Amino acid sequence: MSNVKNRIKSSVKVPKTDNSKRSLQGHIRPVHQNVNVSILSKAASTNSRLDLHGFRNLAYIMLICSNLRLLVENYLNHGFSIPIQSLGIPRDDVRIGIYCTLLIPCHLLLANIIERTAIKTLKNKKNTSSYELWTQFAALHAINEFACLAITTLIVQFYVYHPLVGTILLVHSVILCLKVTSYALANRELRAAYLNNLPVPELYRSHPYPSNLAFSNLVYFWWAPTLVYQPVYPRSPNIRITFVLRCITEVCVLSLGIWFLSAQYATPILKSSIPLLNTREYALVFERLLKLASVSIIVWLMGFVVVFQSMLNLLAEIMRFGDREFYKDWWNSGSVSTYWRLWNRPMNTFFRRHIYFPLMKRGYGATSSTVIVFTVSAILHELVVGIATHNLIGVAFISMMLQIPLSLATAPLEQMRGPGTTIGNCIFWLSFFLGQPLNILLYYFAWNVRYQK
The pLDDT tens digits for 200-214 are 998 898 889 999 999
The terminus-to-terminus CA distance of the chain in angstroms comes to 104
Whether 259 shows a pLDDT value over 60: the answer reads yes
Write out pLDDT tens, residues 271-311: 888 888 888 888 888 988 988 998 899 999 999 999 999 99
| Single-letter code of the amino acid located at 423 | I
H or E stretch at 436: helix 422-451
**Stronger pLDDT, 16 or 377, i.e. the higher one:** 377
Mean of the per-residue pLDDT values for the chain? 87
State whether 296 and 196 are in the same domain: no
Whether 19 shows a pLDDT value over 60: the answer reads no
State whether 161 and 276 are in the same domain: no
pLDDT score at 124: 75
Averaged pLDDT for residues 428-436 = 90
**Stronger pLDDT, 188 or 122, i.e. the higher one:** 188
Averaged pLDDT for residues 327-356 = 92
Domain assignment of residue 443, yes or no: yes
Question: Which one is catalytic: 107, 162, 354, 381?
Answer: 381
Averaged pLDDT for residues 51-77 = 82
pLDDT > 90: what percent of the chain? 55
Q: Are 227 and 178 in contact (CB under 8 A)?
A: yes
Domain assignment of residue 64, yes or no: no
Averaged pLDDT for residues 353-368 = 93
pLDDT score at 423: 84
pLDDT score at 164: 92
State whether 418 and 356 are in the same domain: yes
Domain assignment of residue 114, yes or no: yes
pLDDT score at 361: 93
Whether 420 shows a pLDDT value over 70: the answer reads no
Domain assignment of residue 29, yes or no: no
Write out pLDDT tens, residues 157-177: 999 999 999 999 999 999 999
CA distances from 241 to 108, 210, 226, 238, 367 (A): 29, 34, 22, 9, 46
State whether 96 and 219 are in the same domain: yes
State whether 97 and 214 are in the same domain: yes
State whether 178 and 199 are in the same domain: yes
CA distances from 212 to 231, 321, 413 (A): 6, 17, 46
Instruction: Please identify, among 295, 322, 349, the residue that sits at the C-terminal boundary of a domain.
Output: 322
Q: Exposure of 283 by Cβ count < 10 A (0-12 exposed, 13-18 middle, 19+ buried)?
A: exposed
State whether 346 and 293 are in the same domain: no
Averaged pLDDT for residues 379-394 = 94
Averaged pLDDT for residues 251-256 = 94
State whether 122 and 218 are in the same domain: yes
The band of 248, judged by pLDDT with boundaries at 50, 70 and 90, is very high
Number of structural domains (the chain) is 3
Averaged pLDDT for residues 322-330 = 92
Instruction: Please identify, among 304, 322, 340, the residue that sits at the C-terminal boundary of a domain.
Output: 322
Domain assignment of residue 418, yes or no: yes
Instruction: Please identify, among 297, 322, 347, the residue that sits at the C-terminal boundary of a domain.
Output: 322
pLDDT score at 48: 59
Domain assignment of residue 299, yes or no: yes
State whether 447 and 331 are in the same domain: yes
Averaged pLDDT for residues 320-340 = 91
pLDDT score at 344: 92
Whether 8 shows a pLDDT value over 50: the answer reads no
DSSP helix, strand, coil percent of the chain (3-state; round to 5)? 75, 0, 25
State whether 123 and 219 are in the same domain: yes
Helices 282-304 and 241-261 cross at an angle (nearest 10°) of: 170
Torsion of the alpha carbons at 64, 66, 71 and 73, rounded to the nearest 10? 160
Domain assignment of residue 139, yes or no: yes
pTM, 2 dp: 0.85
Residue 32 known to be catalytic: no
The band of 25, judged by pLDDT with boundaries at 50, 70 and 90, is low
Domain assignment of residue 74, yes or no: no
State whether 299 and 398 are in the same domain: no
Containing structural domain, residue 101:
91-223
| Lowest-pLDDT range of 36-40, 114-118, 414-418 | 414-418
pLDDT score at 350: 96
Distance in angstroms (rounded) separating the CA atoms of residues 141 and 380: 19
pLDDT score at 27: 76
| Single-letter code of the amino acid located at 117 | T
State whether 119 and 149 are in the same domain: yes
Of 342, 350, 103, 118, residue with least CA distance to 221: 350
Whether 46 shows a pLDDT value over 70: the answer reads no
